[in-house]
Amino acid sequence: MTYEQTVVETINLLRVVREKKLIDAKAPIVVVWDSLASMVPKQIADKSADAMNMNDNTALARATSASFKLIAQACDDYNCLLIVLNQTRTKIGVMFGDPTTTPWR
């Protein structure tokens, strides 16, 4: 599932929960995404490894920037709290500089 599909699924899920009154209307919906760094944007999912270029390095940032306004509006409309996690890891054996990294880097 791509990042963009995850956004659409999340918004559809919020809509269904509220329209079908699956929980009390005053109760907030809590959605947790784990982990943002490991989500794959459509631009990357559609390419083979040898077709990748430097522009693909920023694909997730561009997709996130474009869709977060939609997600924020949906959260406001449906009384939702969205928690987005981003994991960090420590590179083993790094002697100089910051050993912290994120997944897929």
- Going residue by residue through the chain, which has 105 residues, state the pLDDT in tens, using 9 for 90 and above: 899 999 999 999 999 999 999 999 999 999 999 878 778 888 788 877 777 777 777 888 888 898 999 999 999 999 999 999 988 889 899 999 999 987 765
ω before 35 within 30° of 0 (cis)? yes
Q: Which two tokens stand for residue 26?
A: 């005053």
pLDDT by residue (tens digit) across 42-59? 878 887 777 777 777 788
14 near 80, Cβ under 8 Å? Answer: yes
Q: Round the average pLDDT of the chain to a whole number and report it.
A: 89
Count CB-CB contacts under 10 A for residue 68: 14
Give the SS3 label for residue 90.
Answer: strand
Q: Give the number of C-alpha atoms closer than 13 A to the C-alpha of residue 7, restricted to the C-beta side.
A: 21
Domain count for the chain, please give it. Answer: 1
How far is residue 44's CA from residue 35's CA, in Å, rounded to a whole number?
A: 17
Predicted local distance difference test score (pLDDT) of residue 104: 61
Looking at the DSSP bridge assignments, the partners of residue 90 are 100
Looking at the DSSP bridge assignments, the partners of residue 84 are 33
Q: Which two tokens stand for residue 41?
A: 């944007």
Predicted local distance difference test score (pLDDT) of residue 46: 82
Amino acid occupying residue 70: L
Domain that holds residue 96: 3-101
Predicted local distance difference test score (pLDDT) of residue 53: 77
